[in-house]
Amino acid sequence: GAGVSQSPSNKVTEKGKDVELRCDPISGHTALYWYRQSLGQGLEFLIYFQGNSAPDKSGLPSDRFSAERTGGSVSTLTIQRTQQEDSAVYLCASSRDTSYNEQFFGPGTRLTVL
Amino acid sequence: GDSVTQMEGPVTLSEEAFLTINCTYTATGYPSLFWYVQYPGEGLQLLLKATKADDKGSNKGFEATYRKETTSFHLEKGSVQVSDSAVYFCALSHNQGGKLIFGQGTELSVKP
């Protein structure tokens, strides 16, 4: 079956612009997670959704970052007024639910802020 | 807060050598422990997991045992292959929420 998909695969933007990253989880998976992978910080948790609500947003680095999920499916991570330190690979993962132990990861979106 | 520490890489081995990648953790309660692998050009995928103390996770010849007394989850393989070259991440999660906390990753390179 289809795995987790993310778009775009690559995004180059100028400092100060807003970007939207999209994640399509595996059908039927109620839990969705966003992570960031960067050279300096490794793999960091950003936010997770159970259904359409986000019980834990503790990993979002600043108020420039926000995310939403609609219909219990697609999620969008928005970064406003991008900075060079936002450059990273943004990974999305989904799971049957938050108590299930395996998360399935998408291929990621590589964001480069010039 | 919770954290995971892995041995630093890169690790370079010859084919058929024995592999150990050390992983230790700090956490409240009783987390589940995981090894994820990222092959070149591919996404992260689960390699193995253990959900309680003394459990052994195994897959593709890799093994790791959940040791609560030493707060460790070391990854081992008896005979590595060139195809095992990848970055390996140790991680933990609690059942409530399930977010993964990762170690910094260990790059493994296996030479023929």
Report pLDDT digits (tens) over B77-95: 999 999 999 999 999 998 6
- A74-78, A90-94, B26-30 — which is least confidently predicted? B26-30
In A, minimum Cα distance to B50 occurs at: A101
Tens-place pLDDT, residues A35-81: 999 987 789 999 999 999 999 999 999 999 999 999 989 999 999 99
Neighbours of A4 (CB within 10 A): 22
- How many alpha carbons lie under 13 Å from residue A95 in its C-beta half-sphere? 21
Residues of chain A with Cβ-Cβ distance to B105 below 8 Å are: 42-43
Residues with Cβ < 8 Å from A82, sequence gap 6 or more?
A13, A14, A15, A16, A17, A18, A19, A64, A111, A113
Residues of chain A with Cβ-Cβ distance to B103 below 8 Å are: 42
DSSP, residue by residue, B49-101: EE-STT-EEEETTEEEE-BTTTTB--EEESS--GGG-EEEEEEEE-TTT---E
In this complex, the residue of B42, B49, B99 whose CB is nearest that of residue A45 is B99
